[in-house]
Amino acid sequence: MCVALNWVPLHEVRLANGRRADILALRSDGGFVCIEIKSGLADFRADQKWPDYRDYADALCFAVDVDFPIEALPHDAGLIVVAEEAVLIRHPPSHPIAPSRRRALTVQFARLAGMRVQGVLDPGSVQSLRAE
C-alpha cells in the first residue's frame, strides 16, 4: 500500500525520543507518515505510546485488521484497514514537523535505509560496524 501511494516505508525505526515506529514512510513531498500497527483492541489499549510519534511525523496512521473496532481509534489519525491487502480508508490529517527535526529525520531515514541495503549486499560490513 505504501508503495502504491508513492510512500517509501522503513520498518522498525528508532526515533530520537526512544520510541520505535512500526513503519516510518517518506512521502514524495518530503513529509513523513508514521504507521502504528495494532494487532487488536487489547494491544491498542495497552500501548498508549502512540502520541509520542506525532512529533516525528507529519501524519499518523493506525493500521488494523478488518475486524478491529475502528470507533476506538482517535479520529485525528489516518486509518489503514488490512484484510487481504492494506487499504487507506481515512487520510491522516497533516501536522507538519519543525524544519530542523525534518532535516535530522531525513538524514536518519537515508542512513538507515542505506545501511539496510548494505546489510543485504555485504552482511559482513554491517556486522563489523555493529561490533564497534
Rounded distance, CA 105 to CA 2, Å?
19
The pLDDT tens digits for 53-96 are 999 999 999 999 999 999 999 999 999 999 989 999 999 999 99
pLDDT for residue 110 is more than 90: yes
Task: For 1-132, list the strands marked E by DSSP.
Answer: 8-14, 20-26, 32-37, 59-65, 78-82, 86-90
pTM flag (> 0.85): yes
Give domain limits for the chain.
Answer: 8-96
CB-CB contact of 59 with 95 (8 Å)? yes
Sorted by sequence, the CB contacts under 8 Å of residue 131 that are 6+ apart come out as none
pLDDT for residue 131 is more than 70: no
CA 99 to centroid of chain Cα atoms: 19
pLDDT at res. 122 = 87
